[in-house]
């Protein structure tokens, strides 16, 4: 809510230029750290998503294909005519 800046020794008051020079350096440092943190978070999310996709692919490869051909369906008709490779 309030900012307090104590004057340097030997000075009676704090000038706006002094205060804002401190504030400006703080803002620049904060901005740089914020960008680095956002890049780190984005990189972490990408790694997590890649790991999730890898796990899904591995799970699909482990599961056998259990589809059953319906009688009277298109694949069943083509298979009976010998047009569908089995």
- Read off the pLDDT of residues 5-41 as tens digits, 9 standing for 90 and up: 888 888 888 888 888 888 899 999 999 999 999 999 9
6: three-class secondary structure by DSSP: coil
Task: Decide if 11 is inside a domain.
Answer: no
Task: Decide if 59 is inside a domain.
Answer: yes
CA terminus-to-terminus distance, the chain = 75
Task: Decide if 51 is inside a domain.
Answer: yes
Task: Decide if 86 is inside a domain.
Answer: no
Residue 44's domain comprises 35-64
Q: How many domains would you assign to the chain? A: 1
Task: Decide if 44 is inside a domain.
Answer: yes
Q: What is the pLDDT of residue 85?
A: 58
| CA gap 7, 2 in Å, rounded | 16
């Amino acid at each position: 809510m309030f900012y307090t800046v104590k004057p340097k020794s030997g000075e009676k008051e704090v000038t706006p230029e002094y205060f804002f020079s401190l504030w400006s350096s703080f803002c620049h440092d904060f901005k740089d750290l914020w960008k680095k943190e956002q890049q780190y978070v984005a990189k972490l999310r990408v790694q997590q998503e890649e790991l999730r996709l890898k796990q899904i692919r591995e799970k699909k490869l482990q599961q056998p294909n259990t589809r059953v051909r319906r009688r009277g369906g298109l694949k069943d008709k083509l298979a009976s005519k010998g047009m569908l490779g089995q």
